[in-house]
Amino acid sequence: MIPRISHSENTPQIVQSFLAKLRNSNFSGDIQHDYASRLVTATDNSIYQVLPQAVVFPKNYKEIQAVLKIADQQQFRHSIKITPRGGGTGTNGQSLTEGIVLDCSRYMNRILETNLKEGWVRVEPGVVLDQLNEHLAQKNVFFAPDLSPSNRATLGGMVNTDACGKGSRIYGRTSDHVLELSCILSNGEVLESVPLDTEKLNSYKRKSGITGEVFKVVDRVVLEKADLIEEVFPKMNRFMTGYNLAKVYSNAEKKFNLNYLLSGSEGTLAIVSEAKLRLTALPKHKLLLVVKYEDFDDALRDAEILLENDPAAIETIDEKILSLAKEDEIYLKIKDFIADESGKSGKKFRPTRTISLIEFCGNNRKNLEKQVSALCKIIDAKKNKSGEATGYYRTSDPQEIKDLWSLRKKGVGLLGNTKGERKPLPFVEDTAVPPENLAGYIREFRKLLESYGLEYAMFGHVDVGCLHVRPALDLKNPDEEAWIRELSDKVVTLVKKYGGVMWSEHGRGFRSEYTADFFGEELHQDLRRIKEAFDPDNRLNPGKIVTPLSKNADKVVPLEGPLRGHKDRQIAPVLLKEYESAINCNGNGACFDYLPANVMCPSSRITRDRIHSPQGRAGLMREWLRLLSMTRSAEHSERNKVATDFNGESQKKSIGLNLFLSVFQKIKNTLRKKQGEYDFSHEVYESMVGCLVCKACVTQCPVHVNVPDFRSKFLNHYHSRYLRPLKDYLVGSTETVGRLFSNMPRPANAIFSWKLSRKLLKNQIGLRDLPQYSPESVRLRLLNSAAPEFDVDMMIALTRKELEGSVIMLQDAFTSFYESQVVLEFYQLLCKLGFKVYVAPFHPNGKPLHVKGFLSQFQKVAEKNTKWLAHVARCGIPMVGLDPSVVLTYRDEYLKILGENQLTFEVMLPQEFLITRTEILLKHAVSVKDNLQDYQLLGHCTEKTDAQLSQEQWKEVFKLLGLSLRLIPVGCCGMAGTYGHETEHYEESRGIYNLSWKKKIPEDHFLRQNILTTGFSCRSQIKRFEGFRPLHPLQALLREINLFN
């Protein structure tokens, strides 16, 4: 039994008083100071971990004002600190704080106005970059700065870091596209920042309060120190971010423009509540060239030559990322484009260890073709020489271009999947030097890292002299933690030697102490003077960039942290290994993907609560493991307890401990829970039960955070202390109870259909809309149809020819008990195709047990079923299962629970089997002229992510049979096994369905017959909300073959 887990990180009384006052005001947004909510905002994509006191989510600019006006009251003025947070993807801890986090992403995410005639759009700060550009695409314009985390980076965050990315040589930074900013100052004043001529500037200076002081101080500094500013600020595309004094006057408008100062200020000067942004026309054509190299240095040397061809962007990716990409779902899409090259003779092997992605954009296709052809000609002329590019791949296909850029965008996340304790980390990663100095700079940088015996990853924007370099360290090791300081100091010296900057696009954050090294002490004091004018009480994101001039006691945050490694080293080693996927989460935020049609984490998308994201769940799990380790350690030191392993199984049991005492203790603990006794495990539990177990995170997350895996382990632990809800037992027994009821479907359906039964299930047990048992059982129907007897010994004796024409159908509880017609029609289809079909008797798979965390029971089922299937596999006949969630359990959950790398048998999905029988499919092809159907497949989320070729395989099967099948992009349907049947999740389930699936279901009843889906839960969800049950693809195939014949 796990202990009760508590923590000492309570919210201070002054903060609680502030939050109480905020609640009693007109503030209608969310106010959260539970430990879980604070934890999920304690980390980002950096090496740091800082626990805030609370998180507030305003709904509009007036609520931001309310927060700051109350904070400015006398009782709170010197104690309440506010830090704005965007997408949470920062790499330098810019938005991490010990104060209160102000998060605009949950509610303030509206696109307010688009003016195409004048070329601008007005947005709230929580709008995501891809969200905006998707909205603008149909108007043939876009917001130009292009970031790797574009599907989760908020525009407010982009402004606060003055973000830029691919194509910045052409399009510049975020600040180059900001027309106006509406901001809230530290005392609640509203500041409207627009370009000002002299007359208007003078009127702004005469304003009262902080606003007037800001314009007076900034104008005085930039005018008086103009020569020094000109001398200090480097003439580079990637200049220093944060308080950009150089462009306040030296901008395109030649007016006083505070936007350049506010952009990149990391929320230390004001909180952006609205932005008016410049729009850019979308180029009509794009061409991409993938240039391959054997060595990273070769790519760097080539950069200047490539730049002479004036591409829109050059991005280089090293061997580390390319090798990690082979373990990611992206690799199947791009592997042919980055394949190794052969030498001149065709025999010499030239491996691709580095690639450069070179993009050309424009409105004249012929000119672009000429540019690319000229570059290809140069590469062809030298490609057989040592040290030169080995080859290239050229494409104008939009999907190929998108997939190749996805590889680049995934680079940061993929690095978290590096094997071993050392992980590539961001702390010196966005240095930049003049492009002509890049090769020499990187050469010395690599020597520095190699002198410490470190591996590293490099990728980034060689066209502007900015390479992201991530040394691999283990920050659980105190010795390696010390290298953060050593390496950072040495990199500062090195980057200055080559005329560069320490931070060129990712902000300063915890590197703020180097400000004076690059600005000089005189300008450093002027920056502090500007901070003082904006934020005299050091209320806004204190410790970042600079402190107010009068606050000499206040210091910037130290480079040394607090670090994530400080926490992780407190976790017991056995737990670090057991829960590796949770520990490895590096905060890249891929699970915050806003796109409704993407499968990644539907619970996060519908709740907009980071607690319900893979990153949030991994973070809570890390803290739970840490506190569990420390609690266990304390208990063991106080009394000589018998050791208990962390898999929930006692290695030894105290004498007298029995089932009765265990249940009695659980009852006591559960009663205390209801009486309000705190246990951090309850907060983790609420996060875990909100997971749909769709398993999208396992493949869509570049680090492969496996929430369903550690979720089931946690539930197993949790219920060693607390009673399980009755619904868990009902769900866990789906296969055993379902087998019983499926043999008497009429009385079972009658009982579950009673109004009283439904009310009891819904309100007391917590289950609703349960499917009805099929009126006709698979077993009886097969007996009546003279199906072949399932006798393994007899099947082993079959001839080779008989084996080739045979197939074994494995049953699952969902289709056999609730959709027997699908099973029977699959049987008929296989028979029509000429196969002899052996239908195996039903054996429990255990999937429902695993979902609910009954791990010991699941292990027993898995062991028994594995033994039986291994016996069946001896006959050499292919085994095929119907429901994807069940079939794919053999490839993941079985391996983990049994501790195996590979099972001795294989269970195939229907399309995986059919695609291996091409000749048979062609033989039964339907005449194209007779087929008027246009089928549409809405994919099962687990099948799409865990069997990545599955959807294309369905498409190919239909094609071979002369049929048309379109793959419809959708996210999760919201049912996900039993999740959608649980009363507490009904609203979220419906909301998830509405995000993408509902939009794809035609109103026309005739067209609905062409909607196909492979998952039982998906068909059940459509039946529940649309009133019809779509066909399985196999049913559509049978229908077409029958009609044709």
- Domain regions of the chain by residue span: 13-103, 111-281, 290-409, 424-504, 567-723, 923-1045
**The pLDDT value given to residue 141:** 97
Least confident of 126-140, 337-351, 835-849: 337-351
Q: Could you tell me if 360 and 312 are in contact, meaning their C-beta atoms sit under 8 angstroms apart? A: yes
- In the structure, what pLDDT confidence band is assigned to residue 931 with cuts at 50, 70 and 90? low
424-504: which CATH topology? Alpha-Beta Plaits (3.30.70)
The total number of residues shown for the chain amounts to 1045
Q: What percent of the chain is modeled with pLDDT above 90? A: 84
Tokens representing 85 are: 């947070």
Tokens representing 361 are: 């954009």
- In the structure, what pLDDT confidence band is assigned to residue 648 with cuts at 50, 70 and 90? very low
**The pLDDT value given to residue 353:** 94
Least confident of 240-249, 538-547, 689-698: 240-249
C-alpha torsion angle, residues 10, 14, 17, 21 (rounded to 10): -130
**DSSP per position, 212-242:** HHHHHHHHHHHHHTHHHHHHHS--SSS---S
- In the structure, what pLDDT confidence band is assigned to residue 656 with cuts at 50, 70 and 90? low
State yes or no: pLDDT of 641 exceeds 50: no
Interatomic CA distance for residues 915 and 1039, integer angstroms: 19
111-281: which CATH topology? 3.30.465
| Domain 290-409 part of CATH 1.10.3470 | no
**The pLDDT value given to residue 637:** 55
Looking at every residue in the chain, the average pLDDT score rounds to 93
Class of domain 13-103: alpha beta
**The pLDDT value given to residue 715:** 97
**The pLDDT value given to residue 660:** 80
**The pLDDT value given to residue 929:** 56
Tokens representing 732 are: 């866990």
CATH topology match: 13-103 vs 290-409: no
pLDDT in tens, 802-827: 999 999 999 999 999 999 999 999 99
Q: Could you tell me if 929 and 888 are in contact, meaning their C-beta atoms sit under 8 angstroms apart? A: no
Kindly report the number of other CB atoms within 10 A of residue 13's CB atom: 8
- End-to-end Cα spacing for the chain: 63
Tokens representing 414 are: 């993929």
- In the structure, what pLDDT confidence band is assigned to residue 345 with cuts at 50, 70 and 90? low
**Cβ partners under 8 Å of residue 720, min gap 6:** 1, 2, 648
**The pLDDT value given to residue 348:** 64
pLDDT in tens, 570-614: 999 999 999 999 999 999 999 999 888 889 999 999 999 999 999
pLDDT in tens, 968-1023: 999 999 999 999 999 999 999 999 999 999 999 999 999 999 999 999 999 999 99
- Residue 780's Cβ-count burial label (10 Å; 0-12, 13-18, 19+) is exposed
Q: Which H or E run includes 663?
A: helix 659-674
Amino acid occupying residue 982: E
Q: Can you give the three-state secondary structure of 520-584, one letter per residue?
A: HHHHHHHHHHHHHHHCCCCCECCCCCCCCCCCCCCCCCCCCCCEHHHHHCCCCHHHHHHCHHHHC
State yes or no: pLDDT of 644 exceeds 50: no
